[in-house]
Amino acid sequence: MAYEENPVYLEGERAQVFRRLFPKNGELLDLLSSKSELRRSANDALRNAQTYWPAEFARSCDFSYSCSVYDRFAPNAFAAYRDGHHWVCMSSGLIYVIAELAVRAASAMVIPDETAEGANVARDAGFGFRFFDEDFRGDKEATAEFFRQTHSFSQARLRVLNALWLDAQTLVWRHELFHASLGHTRFADAGLSLGSLNEAPTASEIPPKYHEIIKAMEFHADWAAYGSMIKTTRSDLDAVASDLVRRFGLRFRVYVMTTAVMLLPLFFRVAETVTSTKPVLHPSPETRLQTFLFRLEEIDNDKEREIWQSGARDAVQSFAKSGRQHADRAPLAQMLTEGAITRGQQDRNRCLDIFDELQDSLNRFAVLPLGHPHQGSVDPIPMD
pLDDT value of position 146: 76
pLDDT value of position 90: 94
Q: Round to whole Å and give the CA distance between 144 and 6.
A: 13
pLDDT value of position 129: 45
Considering only residues 2 and 348, tell me which one the structure prediction assigns the higher pLDDT: 348
Residues 6+ apart with CB under 8 A from 60: 372
The pLDDT of residue 171 is above 90: yes
Residues 6+ apart with CB under 8 A from 38: 1, 2, 3, 4, 95, 96, 99, 147
Whether 266 and 332 have beta carbons less than 8 Å apart is answered as yes
Instruction: Tell me the pLDDT band of 127, cut-offs 50, 70 and 90.
Output: very low
**Neighbour order of strands in the sheet with 77-82:** 65-70, 85-91, 77-82, 197-198
pLDDT tens for 272-305 read 555 554 557 888 888 888 889 989 998 989 999 9
pLDDT tens for 40-91 read 889 988 988 888 888 888 888 889 999 999 998 778 899 999 999 999 999 9
Q: Is 369 exposed, middle or buried (0-12, 13-18, 19+ CB in 10 A)?
A: middle
256: nearest Cα among 319, 302, 332, 300: 319
pLDDT tens for 217-271 read 999 999 999 998 898 888 877 777 778 888 899 999 999 999 999 887 766 665 5
Give Cα separations from 290 to 101, 238, 258, 313, 366 (angstroms): 21, 24, 11, 12, 25
pLDDT tens for 150-161 read 888 888 899 999
pTM exceeding 0.85: yes
